A and B are shown apart, each in its own frame.
Chain A
Amino acid sequence: MGTQTSILFENARLVDPVALSVTHGSIRIENGQITTPGPANQTIDCDGRYLAPGIVDVGVKVCEPGERHKESFKSAGLAAAAGGVTTIVTRPDTVPTIDSPETLEFVTRRAQAACAVRTHPMAALTKDRHGQEMAEIGFLMDAGAVAFTDGDAVVTDIKVLSRALTYAGQLGALVIGHPQDPGLSDGAAVTSGKFASLRGLPAVSPMAERIGLDRDLALAEMTGAAYHADQITTVRALRRLQRAKDAGLNVTAGVSIHHLTLNEFDVADYRTFFKIKPPLRSEDDRLAVGQAVASGLIDIISSMHTPQDEESKRQPFEAAASGAVGLETFLPACMRLYHSGVLTLPQIFRAAALNPARRFGLAGGSLAVGAPADLVLFDPDAPFVLDRTRLKSKSKNTPFDGQRMEGRVLQTFVAGQKVFDHAA
């Protein structure tokens, strides 16, 4: 990268997720790190715009290896930078599964070669995500895996899961669960209720999430492992999460930006871009989960970026694939929560940058001196209409297509290097 110049960001509103404050001031970066303010050889006048630590998005699906036509490290990196995301933590549910140090090294090599933002891989908890034999957790940690998960392939054998948690716990590895009872949710496309009944779609009770969480929390208590629930989306599960945290378990939870901004009725006339896992919930659930992020009960917001090609979405709702892309719309979607008064800007960046960095043991997520110069400069009020065909992701399956958004990323920096410029 040659000699690193120092940059002074002047006249910025600094969003500090540690102090939970927004202050007017300046920030200086040098050699890829945030330093104490002072003279620099380049100055950027932020014109009163907001400067925040770059988003750390955990649970991103990049479709390498196996399905590069859906998303590559290159396209994912461009989409991330455009959405204010400076670090992505990738999922292991690729083809083949990332469950050995060899496949993990492939991912690491591809990411380094092609991705504009920082990447850290997760690995599978069990071989091939089959829930039968645990993966080589030690080797995979040595190779750089930051967490272990079988994704939405819930481990049904409790003995297998308890051993994997025990083994992971002894190594200090973080295990990510998908709290859903797999029997109850089998074949479901939407959340059960009046809407599902009218539309005649196979549905799952929101109780399936609480049942899954109850089981996982009991195992976390039994084994002492560090456990993170990927998505908590229902009010019933929130009470259980609160109880586990009050009891001092090493437990955290996340929620997707889509569950915070959309509800079950958005599916309307069988719109498959709104088919995600777990399915969109009731408005009561959506509001409760938003409050839980504000209070800190839910720790992390993520995009659960899941690219799907046109073929797999151009299907009847039941037959269509699940998942939505979310990297590029991450910050604009979060601004809906800011404008509707659900979350303050520091609360948003606490859940989208600070907490994920801390929980996954990564640098970043703060504006403190010595932190990496991963920054996003944004205008929370800039309006635009989202056109999915212009997304940088290879897959265009966003639920926000054609919708009015308010809030735009202006520039994104990773280690002091500009990786996105809206004006460019």
Chain B
Amino acid sequence: MHAALNHLLGIEPLHPSQITAILDLADSYVDFNRNPLKHTDRLAGLTQINMFFENSTRTQASFELAGKRLGADVMNMAMQASSVKKGETLIDTALTLNAMRPDILVVRHPHSGAVDLLAQKVNCAVLNAGDGRHEHPTQALLDALTIRRAKGRLHRLNIAICGDIAHSRVARSNLILLGKMENRVRLVGPATLMPTGVADLGVEVYHDMAEGLKDADVVMMLRLQKERMDGGFIPSEREYYHRYGLDGEKLAHAKSDAIVMHPGPMNRGIEIDGDIADDINRSVIQEQVEMGVAVRMAAMDLLMQNRTAQTQDTLV
């Protein structure tokens, strides 16, 4: 039996049944969010602080909306501009915030492991909104929910994750989650963008899109960061697009009903062709965004339920 979750720091510590529980609850929030009136008081009176040490528009907006729809008081802190620049350590920042008695901290940080470190020092629930190139658990959960709704199941699927695997926390969380749910995961990309030793993690590695996409049920594209494009990891944008950009020709190697995913924001004409990205029969990219809000509501709701249950246990 696994312990109840206090934080959502990554996919790695989750049991498959916990993943399913979050997805099941998220499913109900998808319906809820489609109502014209989408507000509940489940987290009323609780304080949620979003601490983003790295720029984000989409993820921060998604967490903010999720908290507000659950009735929490939400505060956003842009940490680049704050005392972090004055040399305060991350732990000092955490202790300061902790003294303000938040209930939920949502944290994004450019360094791997930074969110774990912070979680050790505070009393509230911490959600990892992306740490360095380590994990981005809510992204993997929203991807899983999108796949489950599109394919009707989340097991025994051929899933190809393509592009810059080495620098991607999305790729890590996804390959761990999809592996736990017993799917066949392939990583496709140039060797310079592939982490070392990754073949030991129970995935198949391909450097050719045609081979990697063969019979895939799901094609997951990753964003190629601008700073990696010129000469360092790949020779040029155009060569990358030619060899690894997803277009109709490459997608034809996948199953005819394969879905196309992307965590956004997209570079059309670099890792993905515009026609594919906007093809409503193949692309589920807009659904991913919708699922994002629902999954984050579910995760925060469950963490707060666990906390209430634990408080009651100690009272008995």
- Interface residue ranges, A against B (CB under 8 Å): 192-201, 203, 205, 269-270, 311, 314-319
Output the least CB separation between A208 and chain B (Å).
13
Q: Which residues of A contact B133 (CB under 8 A)?
A: 200-201
Q: Contacts A199-B112, A270-B116, A319-B111 known; A314 to B201 CB distance under 8 Å?
A: no
Q: Which residues of A contact B172 (CB under 8 A)?
A: 197-198, 200
Q: Which residues of A contact B197 (CB under 8 A)?
A: 192-197
Q: Is B17 an interface residue (CB 8 A)?
A: no
Say whether A270 contacts B117, CB under 8 Å.
yes
Q: Which residues of B contact A315 (CB under 8 A)?
A: 89-90
The 8 Å CB contact of B112, one of A200, A205, A311, is: A200
What 8 A-B pairs come out closest when comparing CB atoms?
Answer: A270-B113, A316-B111, A200-B134, A197-B195, A194-B197, A200-B133, A316-B114, A200-B112
Q: Which residues of B contact A193 (CB under 8 A)?
A: 196-197
Complex Cα spacing A316 to B117, Å: 7
Q: Which residues of B contact A194 (CB under 8 A)?
A: 196-198, 200-201
Contact with A along B66-95 (1 / 0, CB 8 A): 000000000000000000000001110000
Q: Which residues of B contact A314 (CB under 8 A)?
A: 89-91
The 8 Å CB contact of A192, one of B114, B117, B169, B196, is: B196
Contact with A along B123-155 (1 / 0, CB 8 A): 000000001111100000000000000000000
Say whether B200 contacts A316, CB under 8 Å.
no
Report the tally of A-B residue pairs with Cβ distances under 8 A: 69
Complex Cα spacing A193 to B197, Å: 5
Say whether A317 contacts B111, CB under 8 Å.
yes
Q: Is B109 an interface residue (CB 8 A)?
A: yes
Output the least CB separation between B13 and chain A (Å).
10
- Knowing that A197-B201, A199-B113 touch, tell me 14 more A-B residue pairs with CB under 8 angstroms: A192-B196, A194-B201, A195-B197, A196-B195, A196-B197, A198-B201, A200-B169, A201-B132, A201-B133, A311-B89, A315-B90, A316-B117, A316-B132, A317-B111
Say whether A316 contacts B196, CB under 8 Å.
no
Complex Cα spacing A192 to B196, Å: 6
Complex Cα spacing A269 to B117, Å: 9
Complex Cα spacing A203 to B200, Å: 17
Complex Cα spacing A203 to B195, Å: 10
Say whether B201 contacts A317, CB under 8 Å.
no
Most chain B beta-carbon contacts within 10 A, residue among A193, A198, A199, A318:
A198
Complex Cα spacing A269 to B113, Å: 7
Complex Cα spacing A205 to B91, Å: 31
Output the least CB separation between A279 and chain B (Å).
14
Complex Cα spacing A316 to B112, Å: 7
Q: Which residues of A contact B117 (CB under 8 A)?
A: 270, 316
Q: Which residues of A contact B169 (CB under 8 A)?
A: 200
The 8 Å CB contact of A196, one of B91, B111, B135, B196, is: B196
Q: Which residues of B contact A199 (CB under 8 A)?
A: 112-113, 134
Say whether A318 contacts B196, CB under 8 Å.
no
Contact with A along B11-47 (1 / 0, CB 8 A): 0100000000000000000000000000000000000
Complex Cα spacing A194 to B201, Å: 7
Q: Which residues of A contact B198 (CB under 8 A)?
A: 194, 197
Complex Cα spacing A193 to B116, Å: 21
Say whether B111 contacts A197, CB under 8 Å.
no
Q: Which residues of A contact B135 (CB under 8 A)?
A: 200
Q: Which residues of A contact B111 (CB under 8 A)?
A: 316-319
Complex Cα spacing A194 to B131, Å: 18
Complex Cα spacing A201 to B196, Å: 11
Complex Cα spacing A196 to B131, Å: 14
Complex Cα spacing A205 to B198, Å: 14
The 8 Å CB contact of B116, one of A196, A197, A269, A311, is: A269
Say whether A197 contacts B91, CB under 8 Å.
no
9 contacting pairs across A/B (C-beta < 8 A): A193-B196, A194-B196, A194-B197, A198-B201, A199-B112, A200-B169, A269-B116, A311-B89, A316-B112
